[in-house]
Amino acid sequence: MSSGKFQLKVPKGTKDWADKDMVLRTAIFDTIVSVFKRHGGVTLDTPVFELKEILAGKYGEDSKLIYDLKDQGGELCSLRYDLTVPFARYLAMNPTVQSMKRFHIAKVYRRDQPAMTKGRMREFYQCDFDIAGTFESMIPDAEILAIGVETLSDLGIKDFKAKLNHRGILDGIFQTCGVPEADVRKISSAVDKLDKLPWADVKKEMTIEKGLPEEVADKIGEYVKLKGGPELLEQLKADQSLMSNTSAKAGVDDLTRLFEYTDAYQITSYISFDLSLARGLDYYTGLIYEFVVASSAPPPSAGSAAEKKHAKKSKDKYIDDDDNSENVGVGSIAAGGRYDKLVGMFSNSKKGDIPCVGVSFGVERLFSLIKASINEDQLRANDTEVFVMAMGGGEGWTGFLKERMAVSKMLWEAGIKAEFQYKTKVKFRQQFEAAEKAGIPIALILGQEEYPNGYVKIKMLGTHAAGDGETVKVEDMIPTLKEKIATVNSTSALIESIRQL
């Protein structure tokens, strides 16, 4: 047995979820799952670690953030970095599954420099919904955007918008402006920083760091400053040099169709077509988007040079990937895009490609936003509905422990959530205080005289308290309790109140 000297803590970048935070997080998950199921989603659970080679070559520079398991003999494995690659691996392994609307809520792992205040953890939850299958252009993509809007609305998030772009248009712009094919991804990643850095800095990165001629950078600069709604598409359509590029033309056609569908879903007002959105991950092939909130703007110091320098110099050699992470925007609460080639990467034949489009919600950021906007006093850590108490005294008073047990058992069997004090000689006041402290709304009282005669008393507690309670026959106890329970708050009420924030 071990003893003495060790650090009593969780690993850096991880945390325990408990108490009211856990109740709130569960309510958030329930809300998200209910949207996912409304859209026909089925869930998939993959192992927390994958063969190391499955993750290899999927995350570009960010591969250095992957956690490996120690080589203890046998296969080399790594903790999953996201839920997308395991989903693609699943599809490739199960060729009979040619289409799927799957959701997956689970933890992912990144050996990143933690920044708790920014909600960046090494272990964190992702909530993903993806539509896999060969379908007509933009139909699933529009539904994914609708799911994003519905989910955030149901979570009571206000002032959010979906920044949206298309890799085809972006690639077309780079080609039209004269970026060499080999440099497209790195120029793309520079553009992606425009939500955090001024154009001058981004241009410097393109030209000085990445060797792009200044006039090429300037041409790109004219495009990537454009943002707006569907009307911006008309402007691009009028740009003959851009429209002569096949990739850009196809992207513009996609978006034209997309906006028709978002009109049908009545969500176009949430969308901001933003040519500066690029997203870090290599595997996107079409539409890309990022849901952002105005209210979670970066603190002034976020991403400052000083902070980055500190991270780079810190003793353990974890990497600050603020610049490379696919969750680029600081106000980003969900993000995703179309990835038509990822499943095929796991397959040896061209036939193995299954086009996919999806969205991933960042729970930690949503949690912080929602927590800041609710009154935590309304939350209870448990759902207990009834506290079973004994009332009596004097000589020969047993405390009715076994009676409380027997009655609790009756309640449990009737599906009622019930507790009692784990004590023989109970004091009435102590039981009352315990119930009120835990926020339990109903007391079921076994009186020394009444209970042996077949009667119990039901009394509402706390904010539900009203009068002295009512005495009912034991055989009427359960229906009466169920009526009372229906009048008090429950977790589903919490979800409802979150929605109405």
> Which residues belong to the annotated binding site for L-histidine?
82-84, 110, 126, 130, 279, 283-284
End-to-end alpha-carbon separation of the chain, Å?
Answer: 51
**Binding of residue 29 to a copy of itself (CB under 8 A):** no
Q: Please state, in angstroms and rounded to a whole number, the distance separating the CA atoms of residues 400 and 447.
A: 9
Enumerate residues 168-227 that contact a copy of itself by CB under 8 A.
Answer: none
**Binding of residue 75 to a copy of itself (CB under 8 A):** yes
Annotated binding site: 82-84, 110, 126, 130, 279, 283-284
Query: Is residue 426 a contact partner of residue 388, using CB atoms and an 8 Å limit?
Result: no
Q: Which residues of 77-114 are buried (b: 16+ CB within 10 A; e: fewer)?
A: bbbbbbbbbbbbbbbbeeeeeeebbbbbbbebbbbbbb
Q: Please state, in angstroms and rounded to a whole number, the distance separating the CA atoms of residues 338 and 355.
A: 8
Looking at residue 448, its amino acid is Q
For a copy of itself, give the closer residue by CB, 297 or 406: 406
Return the residue of 115, 118, 135, 250 that touches a copy of itself, per CB under 8 A: 135
H-state helical runs in 162-224: 167-177, 184-191, 199-204, 214-224
Which residue in 28, 23, 10 sits closest to 438, CA to CA?
23
Q: H/E element holding 401?
A: helix 401-413
**Binding of residue 377 to a copy of itself (CB under 8 A):** no
Number of residues lying near a copy of itself (CB under 8 A):
107
Which residue in 209, 227, 207, 208 sits closest to 219, CA to CA?
207
Token pair 């300037």 is found at 218
> What tokens were used for 398?
């047993």
Enumerate residues 394-413 that contact a copy of itself by CB under 8 A.
Answer: 401-403, 405-406, 409, 411-413
Return the residue of 27, 32, 58, 81 that touches a copy of itself, per CB under 8 A: 58
Enumerate residues 309-328 that contact a copy of itself by CB under 8 A.
Answer: 316-318
**Binding of residue 93 to a copy of itself (CB under 8 A):** yes
CA atoms within 13 A on the CB side of 346: 23
**Binding of residue 490 to a copy of itself (CB under 8 A):** no
Return the residue of 235, 266, 295, 373 that touches a copy of itself, per CB under 8 A: 266
Q: Please state, in angstroms and rounded to a whole number, the distance separating the CA atoms of residues 350 and 112.
A: 35
**Binding of residue 261 to a copy of itself (CB under 8 A):** yes
Return the residue of 207, 218, 346, 497 that touches a copy of itself, per CB under 8 A: 346
3-state secondary structure 469-492: CEEEEHHHHHHHHHHHHHCCCCHH
**Binding of residue 116 to a copy of itself (CB under 8 A):** no
**Binding of residue 365 to a copy of itself (CB under 8 A):** no
Count of C-beta atoms within a 10 Å radius of residue 447:
18
Question: Least Å distance between CB 442 and a copy of itself?
Answer: 13
Enumerate residues 414-453 that contact a copy of itself by CB under 8 A.
Answer: 415-419, 422-424
Count of C-beta atoms within a 10 Å radius of residue 280:
22
Where does this chain touch a copy of itself (CB under 8 A) — which range of 51-59, 366-374, 388-396, 476-484?
51-59
Question: Least Å distance between CB 240 and a copy of itself?
Answer: 30
Return the residue of 381, 465, 493, 501 that touches a copy of itself, per CB under 8 A: 381
**Binding of residue 471 to a copy of itself (CB under 8 A):** no
Q: Please state, in angstroms and rounded to a whole number, the distance separating the CA atoms of residues 13 and 120.
A: 8
Enumerate residues 292-311 that contact a copy of itself by CB under 8 A.
Answer: none
Q: Please state, in angstroms and rounded to a whole number, the distance separating the CA atoms of residues 155 and 350.
A: 40
Reading across the β-sheet that carries 386-391, which strands appear in turn? 418-420, 386-391, 442-447, 455-460, 470-473
Count of C-beta atoms within a 10 Å radius of residue 374:
17
Return the residue of 24, 54, 248, 281 that touches a copy of itself, per CB under 8 A: 54
Question: Least Å distance between CB 1 and a copy of itself?
Answer: 5
Q: Please state, in angstroms and rounded to a whole number, the distance separating the CA atoms of residues 103 and 391.
A: 51
* Length, in residues, of the chain: 501
> What tokens were used for 426?
């109970």
**Binding of residue 82 to a copy of itself (CB under 8 A):** no
**Binding of residue 14 to a copy of itself (CB under 8 A):** yes
Return the residue of 30, 61, 67, 183 that touches a copy of itself, per CB under 8 A: 67
Where does this chain touch a copy of itself (CB under 8 A) — which range of 223-231, 263-271, 466-474, 481-489?
263-271
For a copy of itself, give the closer residue by CB, 31 or 327: 31
Return the residue of 111, 186, 203, 279 that touches a copy of itself, per CB under 8 A: 111
Question: Least Å distance between CB 145 and a copy of itself?
Answer: 12
Enumerate residues 137-166 that contact a copy of itself by CB under 8 A.
Answer: 139-140, 142, 146, 150
> What tokens were used for 292?
């952002």
Rounded to 5°, angle at Cα 336 from 117 and 216: 95
Where does this chain touch a copy of itself (CB under 8 A) — which range of 129-137, 197-205, 286-294, 463-471?
129-137
Query: What's the alpha-carbon Rg for the chain, to the nearest Å?
Result: 28
Where does this chain touch a copy of itself (CB under 8 A) — which range of 105-113, 284-292, 371-379, 454-462?
105-113
Return the residue of 32, 44, 173, 359 that touches a copy of itself, per CB under 8 A: 44
Where does this chain touch a copy of itself (CB under 8 A) — which range of 13-21, 189-197, 234-242, 359-367?
13-21
